[in-house]
Amino acid sequence: MATFRFDPILHPFRIENPRFCLQQLKTRPARFDYHSKLVFNKGSFCNYKRPRIHKICASSTNTAVVETSDEAADVTFKETFLLKRTQTVEGKIFVRLGRGKDEKNWQLTVGCNLPGKWILHWGVTSVDDAGSEWDQPPPEMRPLGSVPIKDYAIDTPLKKSLSAVEGETLHELQIDLQRNNSIAAIHFVLKDEETGSWFQHRGRDFKVPLSDYISEDANTVGAKKGFSIWPGSFDQITSMFVRAGESRPKVQVNSGESRVQKQYNKRLEGFYEEYSIAKQVQVHNILTVSVRKSPEEDKNFVHLETDLPGDVVVHWGVCRDSAKRWEIPAGPHPSDTNIFKEKALRTLLQPKENGHGSWGLFSLDAKHMGLLFVLKLNDNCWLNYMNRDFYVPLSSEGHSMRDASSSSGFEGSESRLAGTIEKPAEANEAVAYTDGIINEIRNLVSGISSEKGRKTKSKELHVNILQEIEKLAAEAYSIFRSAGPTFWEEATLDAETLKPPVELCSGTGSGYEILCQGFNWESHKSGKWYMELNEKAAELSSLGFTIIWFPPPTESVSPEGYMPKDLYNLNSRYGSIEDLKTLVKRFHEVGIKVLGDVVLNHRCAHYQNQNGVWNIFGGRLNWDDRAVVADDPHFQGRGNKSSGDNFHAAPNIDHSQDFVRTDLKKWLSWLRKEIGYDGWRLDFVRGFWGGYVKDYLDASEPYFAVGEYWDSLSYTYGEMDPNQDAHRQRIIDWINATNGTSGAFDVTTKGILHEALQRCEYWRLSDEKGKPPGVVGWWPSRAVTFIENHDTGSTQGHWRFPSGKEMQGYAYILTHPGTPSVFYDHIFSHYKSEISALISLRHRKKIHCRSIVEITKAEKDVYAAVIDENVAMKIGPGHYEPPSGPKNWALVVEGRDYKVWESS
């Protein structure tokens, strides 16, 4: 979603010169995004002219070429990649109210000089209408081409016209209006259909008052002194409104006059306001990479060529094997090359003779397997490939760039952003952005507390302002979160006692829970999964599971259930609602509690809007597009800005809306009562603020709740960083936002286990303070540990645990604090007996979510720990035996590269 910043430039209204003049537009420094998909080349965008396509040929005259007898035969690799980035361009929008042909006829003009497909979404309010809802304007006011939107507004496209500035194109719309009517104000928002971006006032409409009886508020145009735009920048913007020179006469009105008559006596005053607007446009460039082998010199010549503008630096290194560890090759190196922190080289590409792009030639020894690189355009802008380093194979043993760059990882979990190498500029930008949020909160608070505000603002407006403060505070919190833990150890010692509390809480249940995921990615295919799982209830109880997680129960566009449609329709691909009730009852009979998988972030629509976009819902919760966030360009929502990350496959629900939260709380409470669920597994909680989760859990009072907060761990030069505190802090932040009412899956622990076991680097399993390095090391009672689930394993295999090392993972999570979760596929496999023995030990020794871990060894080939002083364990090929002393240790479970002892 593009970010827009408005800076008003207000001018006196001049009736004799209705055409406004603009200065030459400027292009701001580009911001670059990292995308996981290649896109088609559409050229570059600058100076608001139509993008041009620069055709780049690898055999251009300024390209250094290795002369061989058969050039084509020597090319071992050649590929052209399309690069997608965003560039910020600036322009202006304007709002003008002016007199027409006489005193009774006036004209409102709204325009913009940025390219795009601009639509004015507008309506009116009447003098006698005390409410805040729009009405459609009378037919005589509607310009040609207007399209009715339900019964409250119309959409009118802006038309192109030439401005006074040579070569500049304007988009503007003129609305004719008369004074002697009952219209009190015109309301509108401006939309760019090309990007799906809406231009609003703090999530509300622009309002142009035409009557004395319209109270001024934050979104009033032509009268208010403060202005800002949503979504995007929250900078406080001051403005000055300059009225026409003629003073306004006082008019005496009898108390019995109607509001319409009073309006007739109002003297309209023209105004003209301009606002600077920054819009992000997509710019597409190409990168061509070719490799030629020279057998005579035993070298590879790598040629890079791109049409990226300006200075382009290649940040590069080589690797000798498939591990892709960066190293600096021996010289000589290309000209304009320097060493970066003894880890990589930086080479400035040479400009082409025609001025369109740059190129470089690299000579590398044949002993190297591949070339690794990222492109650096300035101190804070980097480009890589699918969130990974570009990889160019130099030998037959190397893989293709596409294969190498798309290795498995769940939603980029194992990828790193090249832009994380240097962060000063990015940090300064974040500080400036949060300063704007603070100013915005102060404004809103002042609006409530001021004497004028208490007199003029309605209760409904107060509620709206408080909701804005809530959203701004949530956004500021997400930005200010630090890389270090905010969950302090001293506080943990008081709250996390050695024994779990007697009372239950939604985040932990009893503290002794062992969770079973009761399905995999293929479970829906039989059409009777509930019946099949019913037959497993007694066996799962005998294995020692205390709680089970069922698949999503609702009608869904996708058969797996994660694209819900009608939330109250529980006839799914897994079985009928009656089958589900029977299944829940059966598990309760064997002493196992049940979690429902609820998808609250997004919902699939039943109907299309007037633009053919699916954002109108049916069923019992028949929401309209106000329930959809406004900053997802795919679904044209009229809600507020999302409080989290968007899930682009379906409309993202706006949880800031009161009616949405009310309906979801009733639905969750209905599921608890009607179906018998004991708690929730919350899908994709990264998409909305944790404070809303607290609201839902307070209403539904679950026994246990766990959220799926999943994002990328930190990698540098292809290797996982030793310190993953920033990653687990983000999960802790979300748990904090729920006020601790929900736990979260410990993705950090899973990722570190991956690296430790795969690379035989068991030292990773201890942090700098000698504690477990995942969420379980900071807030164990809220950490739900796991090694596999339906997304990472099963037939999806997005982020599969290292093959053959699964039992090492279970030996870790089933002996450590936190709440362990075991995947269905592993339970009913050859691992069953070993998993059963570990669960039995956990119950027997009363290991719980707050148990104490003493790490006794964390070396390259072995990790060992003692838990609650009566269980010892080790994983890895290295040697370890529990300490001798007063305790007698008995080996109770062992397998490939793991052992577990208990004290007697």
Side-chain-side CA neighbours of 318 within 13 Å: the count stands at: 19
Count Cβ atoms below 10 Å from residue 83 Cβ, excluding itself.
21
Buried b (16+ CB within 10 A) or exposed e, 37-67: eeeebbbbbbebeebeebebeeebeebeebe
**Which stretches does DSSP call E strand in 355-452?**
358-365, 370-378, 381-383, 390-393
Instruction: For residues 551 and 563, give the distance between their C-alpha atoms in angstroms, rounded to a whole number.
Output: 12
Instruction: Return the bridge partners of 867, or none.
Output: 853, 871
22: nearest Cα among 370, 272, 347: 272
Which tokens in the block code for residue 277? Answer: 């607007």
Q: Is the CA virtual torsion 716, 721, 727, 729 positive or negative?
A: negative
Q: Are strands 313-319 and 614-616 parallel, antiparallel or unpaired?
A: unpaired
The answer to whether the CB of 837 falls within 8 A of the CB of 893 is yes
What radius of gyration do the chain's Cα atoms show?
32
Residue in 194, 15, 217, 208 with CA at minimum distance from that of residue 117: 194
- Is residue 369 within 8 Å of 395, Cβ to Cβ? yes
Q: Are 737 and 694 in contact (CB under 8 A)?
A: yes
**Distance between CA atoms of 268 and 890, rounded to whole angstroms?**
92
Q: In 272-311, which positions are buried (b, 16+ CB within 10 angstroms) versus exposed (e)?
A: bbbbbbbbbbbbbbbbbbbbbbeeeeebbbbbbbbbbbee
**Omega of the bond prior to 231 within 30 degrees of 0, cis?**
yes
Residue 154 CA, chain-centre distance (Å), reads 32
Contacts of 35 (CB under 8 A, 6+ apart): 84, 386
d(CA 768, CA 723): 8
Torsion sign, CA atoms 568, 569, 574, 579: positive
Task: Kindly report each contact of residues 607-616 with a partner whose C-beta sits within 8 Å and lies 24 or more positions away, as own/partner.
Answer: 609/636, 610/147, 610/149, 610/155, 611/193, 611/636, 614/651, 615/651
Q: How far is CA 544 from CA 540, 548, 595, in A?
A: 7, 11, 17
The token duo for 314 is 């290649």
* Residues forming beta bridges with residue 393, ordered by sequence position: 370
Inter-residue contact 216 to 138 (CB < 8 Å): no
Which of 205, 555, 683, 788 is catalytic? The answer is 683
Residue 708: active-site member: yes
Beta-bridge partners for 27? 89
59-67: long-range pairs with CB below 8 Å, 24+: 60/305, 60/352, 60/359, 61/353, 62/350, 62/352, 62/353, 62/354, 62/359, 63/303, 63/305, 63/359, 64/303, 64/359, 64/361, 65/303, 66/292, 66/294, 66/301
- Best CA proximity match to 750, nearest among 731, 735, 737: 731
SS3 string of 93-109?
Answer: EEEEEEECCCCCEEEEE
Q: Which of 708, 806, 868, 897 is the catalytic position?
A: 708
> Is 683 in the active site?
yes
Q: Are 872 and 892 in contact (CB under 8 A)?
A: no
Cis peptide before 553 (omega within 30 of 0): no
**Token pair for residue 296?**
């005579």
In the block, tokens 């608070």 appear at 445
- The separation between CA 93 and the C-alpha centre of its own chain, rounded to angstroms, equals 29
**Buried b vs exposed e over 841-856: b needs ≥16 C-beta within 10 Å?**
bbeebebbbbbebebb
Q: Catalytic residue numbers?
A: 683, 708
